[in-house]
């Protein structure tokens, strides 16, 4: 996914994925998937996507929703907090 936010380019294909988290079954209404990315310049962003009943839903009409996706720029502290909350590490 590519998006420009506040004159800055965010691209999931050129950034490095640091970690990911999913809940539910892909394709269902409640499904949520989030991936944390780091750009070459050190900036972080979150790519989130989900079904029609997820926090990433998009309204398409009166009482009509569909799945959606979004890019959210993060500060280094926000990226660290997301990792601590969502990613588990195996030793």
**pLDDT tens for the chain, residues 1 to 91:** 999 999 999 999 999 999 999 999 988 999 999 999 999 999 999 999 999 999 999 989 998 999 999 999 999 999 999 999 998 766 5
The predicted structure's pLDDT at residue 12: 96
Residue 50 covered by a domain: yes
- Is residue 91 domain-resident? no
Count of domains forming the chain: 1
The answer as to whether 28 is a domain residue is yes
Question: How many residues can be counted in the chain?
Answer: 91
> Exposed, middle or buried by CB within 10 Å (0-12, 13-18, 19+), for 65?
middle
48: nearest Cα among 38, 33, 59, 66: 33
Residue 9 belongs to a domain: yes
Per the structure, the complete domain to which residue 16 belongs is given by 2-86
Taking the C-alpha atoms of residue 39 and residue 8, their distance in angstroms, rounded to an integer, is 11
pLDDT number for residue 42: 96
Give domain status of residue 82, yes or no: yes
């Amino acid at each position: 996914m590519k998006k420009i936010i506040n004159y800055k380019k965010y691209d999931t294909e050129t950034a490095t994925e640091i970690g990911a988290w999913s809940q539910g079954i892909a394709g269902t209404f409640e499904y949520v998937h989030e991936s944390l990315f780091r750009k070459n310049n050190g900036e972080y962003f979150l790519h989130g996507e989900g079904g029609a009943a997820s926090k990433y839903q998009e309204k398409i009409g009166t009482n009509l929703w569909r799945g959606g996706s979004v890019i959210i720029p993060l500060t280094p502290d926000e990226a660290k907090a997301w990792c601590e909350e969502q990613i588990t590490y195996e030793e």
